[in-house]
Amino acid sequence: MLWISLLNSLLFIIWLLFVIMMNFCCQPLSPLEWDKKELIWRDKPFYVSRYRSFLHVPINIGKKIAEGMKKISEAGLQAEPMVLSRNETMWGAEILIPISGKAGRFRIELLTGRFLTRLFEGNYADIKKWVKETKKYCESRGFSAKEFIFWYATCPQCAKARGDRAQVVVLARVE
């Protein structure tokens, strides 16, 4: 009878972990898919919008993403499950959402280039360290990094639920 009680407890724990994991809105990325990869984009269309930040901390990014998704949908286009951030200053940045086509209703940027990726997991405050590591990785491959674009693949709520651990993909445009 003890083993039945233990089995029931184990099943309850497995069910509870499943429920907790299903409540995360951000599914973990696989290092096999995103770490140390090369992406080549030729005129890949992205919806672009500016958001405000304070010392690189986003202020209204959630609102801008929601607005962008609505505009993309209203234009009859599909968005890929990725929102990139191109940090320009301490006070503002741009979101880039990859989309299925072009539309004249909003600002679109066509990205062309070779990008090397690194997938990191940790605290958002580690971004400077991650940029340095990505730069070294690019150099080890014989490239020079010209621009960095970030995919914050874990929202703040999911990062907090995971012990303040977020996944971030650093994309380095290289030459």
| More reliable by pLDDT, 52 or 103 | 52
Nearest Cα to Cα of residue 169 among 100, 116, 98, 120: 120
- Cα separations in angstroms, 148 against 66, 76, 170: 24, 30, 7
| More reliable by pLDDT, 50 or 88 | 50
Residue 14: predicted pLDDT = 52
Residue 60: predicted pLDDT = 86
Residue 114: predicted pLDDT = 98
Residue 68: predicted pLDDT = 93
Mean pLDDT in the chain?
86
Tell me: the pLDDT tens digits for 23-69?
558 889 999 999 999 999 999 999 999 999 888 788 888 899 999 99
Tell me: the pLDDT tens digits for 132-171?
999 999 999 999 999 999 999 988 888 888 888 899 999 9
Split at pLDDT 50, 70, 90, the class of 1 is: low
Name the residue type at position 43.
D
Q: Could you give the CA distance from residue 57 to residue 152 in angstroms, rounded to a whole number?
A: 12
* Contact status, residue 126 vs residue 165, Cβ threshold 8 Å: no
Domains, the chain, with CATH or none: 26-174 (3.20.80.10)
Nearest Cα to Cα of residue 138 among 49, 36, 35: 36
Residue 170: predicted pLDDT = 97
| pLDDT > 90 fraction of the chain, expressed in percent and rounded | 62
Judged against a pLDDT cut of 90, whether residue 97 lies above it is answered with: yes
Tell me: the pLDDT tens digits for 106-129?
999 999 999 999 999 998 889 899
Strand 108-122 to 145-152 pairing: unpaired
Name the residue type at position 90.
M
